[in-house]
Structure 1
């Protein structure tokens, strides 16, 4: 029989990494909002065998400083089976009620429930209506989250302890001005409108709660870590100001996720044998001693080949040097000053691999078009230099923390430590030396653009147009809302094109929009230039996929998809509003989009690396009355002239 404090939420394992990881709000089968609990409780149960969930990815383990990664537990029922002899049965993800304040849909009286009351309830005041969760929460930039201070707000008193029922009254309008909270015990003088509670004062720097709960008093964050699940240990001192948000707002929860594609070449059968041999003791110890005496890997390789000629008879110097490099990379501890650029380094390694033709157990790359080898002019006119099909790839994604209010995607040691403190109640415990993640096998299409074509376009671009986005970005960067990054026209253009292609491909590849994902490889760093993106499946499994996406990467098919995507970008169903608003005030999160909205370029959050920011159709097709904005302007003119 189902426990009254159990509920069902239809979540996949991948969704417990993003967007519904620890500290995130999701909805159960009765429409009640729940919050995912701490990792300490994820594998609590009898007869637990962690071997079913453990997996490794050495590059990410070194960066995040953990021993292993684990898949979120899948539910395995004992129904009709001998449960005592089965492993990993009845493992459940801890979920906590949040927000805990409700109001009756009939009498409008409010009630605060316990965090374990996760089933739909009737109102105890009128016994006629059902309780509905309030839509507001308070959050701070340190990740804390709590209920809106209803008692303190209506009584205008930070220390108020009134226990009388409150009422949440609506006069029928569509804005917060039409809503007010009333105390049914303290009389007519204790009624207060909710007008302005979600606004930010003084250019977004001060929350209304800080100064308006009680005149002359400062209301600070409660330091509540609701996802810890206990009132005793879920509070800490916090001097930050709390902001009021709608519970389903994007900025209530930003998961910190780092991902890595499997890098090939390291695990050919011959190289794998050499690596395993050199890792054995006392050989590994001898190699470490040699490194102290000899600096050059070539000399160490020659020595090893001579001493272990029988065991290494099929290897040569180059194979041993590569094996030593791989072992060194696997055991390398990433220094703090390297973390800031670690994401860029990971991307460049993957970019180099995707530029090669490879046939490996975990990665297969096939060349479909190369401007140096192929005479097909249509792709050259589009500025495309290379198209590689990726029939097989392995993607690993790991959750290492989360943020609220603002998303800063930089990685540093302090952020990793803070993330563990948010995800674990006891982050320093030896048994908590892991992080949740998942690995899937999928397929993809890698497209690289000609650097010279992009540079020529950027030099002719009407700078006033891109400067609109650049100036908005500079403002929020100065406010510390986003990290400093390389933002340029090619980044926004290629990012937008990736979105347009995904939106077009779903009609033919058999995947849904949320099943496809982008991976951007864009950098102007000298010697490490990258000008491409990978569109790949995000919903594969251990058996891979059926090839529906790769098929679309064949030359003739992809050319048609590209032309349709570019043509459709000329018009949005919200135009001219979409373009005009983007130019005048910006759109999307922090106004970091220009001509881009839900009707033309937005993708599900799981598909976009940038949370649907840095998008602009104008950089694809241009503007009606301005020449020299769109990268594909000339190409479109030639198509329409035919």
Structure 2
């Protein structure tokens, strides 16, 4: 390690590296920005306890990534971290542990003289001398006493195939030609301000050529930009043959990076589970059970006590059959398409129908009597007194966000150059409330809504949304309704948001501390469940404040308050009358930040598919309301 500076440049929470800025994303530090590098650069050597064990999630990751045999993912790993590193930051082990990053963009601008040059130019120096304050790391320019700060130039190029590149400042200023006075000219970047668009002038120091960045903006500006070079800076590679048109983007734009994640709840092992499913979920544990003798040895171990509930020969046969499938003796799905495993159906089965006697150290349920005032709406209310959620990052996209129902919408980017047997993961422990809406009530409402003009407006807006997406337009022919979540999802999702907002007011949890899982099922297997749970990795999620709200009389009061609040919005009548109409392609109706929207870290669908007119009467078609008469405010 160099004696001139220390390696650590900042800190980030594990959840931040999963959902906000993981592999391939830019992280804004106080003085410059960095790019999280690919998995080849990560190191967990000598770090204990970094493996997260969740067989169901590991199986879903392999299904989604189309990995079989030796190429399968065997481990879910937490971000490299060492306890006590902050107490001895000068020690080499502490300096060597962490998530690897590299400065990006690698063009810097001096905040005093506006000099614009690449990071490796002699004009700039890196300063990071205090190991206890890594956030003070910075680049400086020796243009005047005090060495003013040099910050990252904020423009980049991206494409829908997930590539990211530096903005070509020098070729752009010289209209695609080389500078006549210097082979690697220095530039100056002057920001003139204004509120219409970027108004930044670039000037060559050597020859005096000038150009405004506005010439590269918008669809007309794309003809002044080069074709995408296919660069993946997090991997250090270039994809030859990318024919996408590069798009100008500000480095901190929210559509620069979208994670592709999977999450699963740790469920108690099902005693009567299908053996093939059990072996697939617990393959890392059972892959060596290839004979009766090995089975007997495993079954005598407390950790494998669940094997006693199954026939030994059947278990051995299931293990050998699964190994055959992994070796390619069974048909495999077409490569190149992301498919998500069914993670929600097993959770629905356990949450809705399992007994409280099936509790484990990661999962515990307790039934709560449904009060008379709520019996017309809910079939069950259950306290989830303990739960553990594991989350895995399997890729990312740029420009277009991935859709859990239509994973083909955006082009996924890999996290590593070469095959790895692990992916980044995190886990949180918390508590929750599970609600099961009456199936007869939901089925009758769903049948009415199929012909409702309001629901038809939502379906048409979804088709326009799919048609207007960049990735879909480039793909050509496609089904614009593929991925439509269905009518009951809109009702369950809207009800979930109403309750989350009411709960956050009742018990002191911020809405960003809560998460939701909607169990709507599909046409073949419809479900009617909502799980609201604490989704933050700290003590706030395990204090019992959420599950206590499911008890009488608190929960009925919360439900009534939620419906009462939904009937009025300070943005009415604009909010109450809102329905997406051509050419609008937004995916919500009577919903806004005042009445239904929550933090995007809380909502599983980015505040889409919401409409409170399906829960409470808003003065229009009252027959479209799901909520029974007895609960209307």
TM-score between the two structures when normalised by the length of structure 2: 0.77
Residues 380-391 of structure 1: pairs in structure 2 closer than 5 A: 380-381=375-376, 383-391=377-385
The aligned residue for residue 246 of structure 2 is 242
Equivalence map 1:456-475=2 (5 Å)? 456-461=444-449, 463-475=452-464
Distance 1:264 1:79, change over 3 A: closer
Counting only pairs closer than 5 Å after superposition, residues 304-323 of structure 1 correspond to structure 2 as: 319-321=309-311
Alignment of 1:70 with 2:89, yes or no, is: no
Matches of 1:258 and 1:317, distance apart in 2: 28
TM-fit CA distance, 1:196: 7.0
Alignment of 1:65-214 (within 5 A): 65-77=72-84, 90-114=96-120, 119-124=137-142, 130-157=149-176, 163-176=184-197, 178-187=199-208, 190-194=210-214, 197=217, 199=218, 201=219, 208=220, 210-213=222-225
Q: Matches of residues 365-514 of structure 1 in structure 2 within 5 Å?
A: 365-369=365-369, 376-381=371-376, 383-409=377-403, 422-425=414-417, 427-428=418-419, 432-461=420-449, 463-478=452-467, 480-481=471-472, 484-514=482-512
Cα distance in structure 1, aligned partners of 2:560 and 2:287: 58
Alignment partners' CA distance in 1, 2:31 and 2:89: 33
Q: In the aligned structure 2, how far is the partner of 1:5 from the partner of 1:54? A: 28
In 2, Cα distance between the equivalents of 1:630 and 1:496?
A: 12
| Structure 1 residue 618 corresponds to structure 2 residue 620 | no
What displacement does 1:348 show?
A: 0.8
Tell me how far apart the structure 2 counterparts of residues 280 and 192 of structure 1 sit (CA, whole Å).
63
Matched with 1:298 is none
Contact 2:402 2:409 survives alignment (8 Å): no
Q: Which residue of 2 aligns with 1:295?
A: none
Aligned residue in 2 for 1:49 = 46
The alignment partner of 1:6 has SS state of coil
Deviations 1:18-46 (A, max 9, x none): 22211122222x242222122222216xx
Once the 2 structures are TM-superposed, how far is the Cα of residue 185 of structure 1 from its aligned partner?
Answer: 4.2
| Rounded Cα–Cα distance in structure 2 between residues aligned with 1:309 and 1:107 | 72
Q: Distance in 2 between matches of 1:75 and 1:251?
A: 32
2: CA distance, partners of 1:341 / 1:555: 44
1:433 Cα deviation (Å)?
1.0
The 3 A distance-change label for structure 1 pair 117 and 570 is: farther
> How far off is 1:579 after superposition?
5.1
Deviation at 1:412, TM superposition (A): 11
Tell me by how many angstroms 1:193 deviates: 4.7
Tell me if structure 1 keeps the 8 A contact 2:108–2:119: yes
CA–CA separation in structure 2 for the residues paired with 1:7 and 1:120 = 12
Q: CA separation in 1, counterparts of 2:239 and 2:289?
A: 51
Alpha-carbon offset, residue 349 of structure 1 = 1.0
Cα displacement (A) at 1:598: 3.6
Distance between the aligned counterparts of 1:9 and 1:82, measured in 2? 12
Over 3 Å counting, the alpha-carbon distance change for 1:543 and 1:623 in structure 2 is: closer
Deviation (angstroms), 1:174? 0.7
**2:268 is matched with which residue?**
264
CA contact (8 A) 1:139 1:146 kept: yes
Q: Is the 8 A contact 2:216 2:222 kept in 1?
A: no
3-state DSSP of counterpart to 1:378: coil
Q: Structure 1 193/240 Cα, relative in aligned 2: closer, same or farther at 3 Å?
A: closer
Q: Which of these residues, 518, 525, 536, is aligned with residue 539 of structure 1?
A: 536
Query: Contact conserved, 1:78 with 1:90, CA < 8 A, in 2?
Result: no
C-alpha contact (below 8 Å) 1:76/1:88 kept by paired residues: no
1:618/1:550 Cα in 2 relative to 1: closer, same or farther (>3 Å)? same
1:165 to 1:576, Cα distance in 2 relative to 1, 3 A: farther
The question of whether the paired residues in 2 share the 8 Å contact of 1:255 and 1:403 is answered with yes
* 1:300 aligned residue: none
Structure 1 residue 12: Cα displacement: 1.6
Aligned to 1:628, what secondary structure does the other structure show? Answer: helix
Contact 2:431–2:546 (8 Å) recurs in 1: yes
Partner Cα distance (2:169, 2:618) in 1: 49
Q: Which digits, 9 at most, give the CA deviation of each residue in 1:409-462, with x for residues without a partner?
A: 45999999x96x72123x23xxx3111112332211111112222232234347
Shift of 1:385: 1.7
Change (3 A) 1:521 1:105: same
- The aligned residue for residue 251 of structure 1 is 255
Question: How many residue pairs are counted as aligned between the two chains?
Answer: 576
Residue 52 of structure 1 aligns to a residue in which SS?
coil
Structure 1 moving runs of 4+ over 6 Å: 79-84, 86-89, 158-162, 279-283, 308-312, 315-318, 338-342, 411-416, 541-544
Structure-1 separation of matches of 2:595 and 2:317: 47
5+ long unaligned stretches in structure 1: 202-207, 214-218, 289-303
Root-mean-square deviation (Å): 4.5
Partner Cα separation in structure 2 for residue 80 and residue 614 of structure 1: 47
Q: Aligned with 2:291: secondary structure?
A: helix
Instruction: Identify which of structures 1 and 2 has the higher relative contact order when contacts are C-alpha pairs closer than 8 Å and 6+ apart.
Output: 2
Question: Is contact 2:380–2:435 with CA below 8 Å preserved after alignment?
Answer: yes
Q: How far off its partner does 1:519 sit?
A: 1.0
3-state SS of 1:396 partner: strand
Could you tell me which residue of structure 2 aligns to residue 551 of structure 1? Answer: 548
C-alpha separation between the residues in 1 aligned to 2:442 and 2:301? 51
